[in-house]
Structure 1
């Protein structure tokens, strides 16, 4: 689970955390997609590959289209390694990004991270964030309810997670992270009608990132002890999206 890095705006396993409000009560019914994913590798259940055509795990993200923002027209464009690897590797080697993403190194490091998503089952889609035609950020849109993250918080079916980094120094420190987080979470909620919540889990030490999420309409729900970090669980609820 790479950390969400909205520091873009500035330069041990645990059980379900305490202190969660009743609105975060665990839905004990496993999503059908998760049952299929388990069944695909379980001889007792039989080989049941997902029918990606009939049940796209992220509702055909490539077709979501552009979104207007105060900064210009923004669009999520799925990554193509042959086109985007050099740019993404440069961003991953920026010290401000590497401190939280931990993917600094040669192109092979970035390629391995992205290829694992591109060749996976579709539960995570790596995307360039393109603003007025210029690639300037990187997003991972993922099914939080089907991710290992779901072991650490009371997940609900179709919870959709967001990881973010802003690539260029010129785009940091001006509130751009907040604008993009609101735009992307709006895209999620507009295009995934079964999704009631957008989820993020930035490193709790990354206070600019947490602040950007709060300013973008997310609420702080809990602190989570994840295998690689202590995280702030941030949630943007469909029912509160026009209030916060």
Structure 2
């Protein structure tokens, strides 16, 4: 299971939430890897014969996650924020550098050469579309890494109750200078808002940061998530954080020590 919380903004590796990458991520040698969970036959039928390349008809998160690439920007107190699906050749080096930051590595477990990160990203980009790796751009500049995934199709569903179309998030804040000042809370709130606005069938946004990652748990709380349960996942004991469609974010207060991932 990957980690989704290399810090208050941490994440988990591809077998997200189930693996979390929320730490959203593992190196994933774990048999619980997200991409190993078989899709229902109706989804297999849906994708059979579709092209694997980029484009609206490709086997990307566009289908299972309602066109993440087209969600568009949203305004935040820090500026205009947007999720942009990762482009392997252009973005792997930056994401690999972030993964090798000790604060992030403690939860994502993707340290090592660039090839380690590339393998993690490729598994999602060439997978069935249930997990979409994205860069979070603030005023056009990359400041965070996200994995948006279908929690109901993820190994997470083996460990706790999920609802159809529940959407999970794994994240990390890339630079140390951006942590500890409340940016994590701001971006989590923005992404939860995007998910609920762009995915009408989704009623909840989930995250499962490592319980030890108290800054991450605090950031999710401040962004309107509630602690639903403590869950034993492969490789970690997680705080299952849930944001319901009707929930309101906690009014801004003193900055939370935004977690690295």
TM-score scaled by length of structure 2 = 0.77
* 3-state SS in 1 of match to 2:95: helix
2:41 to 35, 39, 61: 39
8 Å Cα contact 2:9/2:171 also seen in 1: no
* 3-state SS in 2 of match to 1:198: strand
1:3 aligned residue: 3
8 Å Cα contact 1:117/1:125 also seen in 2: yes
Matches of 2:154 and 2:248, distance apart in 1: 24
1:75 aligned residue: 82
How far did 1:49 drift?
5.1
1:32 aligned residue: none
In structure 2, runs of 5+ residues without a counterpart are: 11-36, 51-56, 252-261
CA deviation string 1:39-71 (max 9, x = no partner): 389xxxxx7352674981000000000000000
Matches within 5 A, 1:120-199: 120-199=127-206
Q: Which has the larger radius of gyration?
A: 1
How far did 1:5 drift?
1.8
CA shift in 2, pair 1:103/1:50, >3 Å: same
1:48 aligned residue: 45
2:124 to 117, 126, 151: 117
Aligned length: 215
How far did 1:224 drift?
0.4
In structure 1, runs of 5+ residues without a counterpart are: 11-34, 42-46
CA shift in 2, pair 1:6/1:188, >3 Å: farther
Matches of 1:100 and 1:140, distance apart in 2: 14
Are residue 221 (structure 1) and residue 228 (structure 2) matched?
A: yes
1:230 to 221, 237, 242: 237
TM-score scaled by length of structure 1 = 0.83
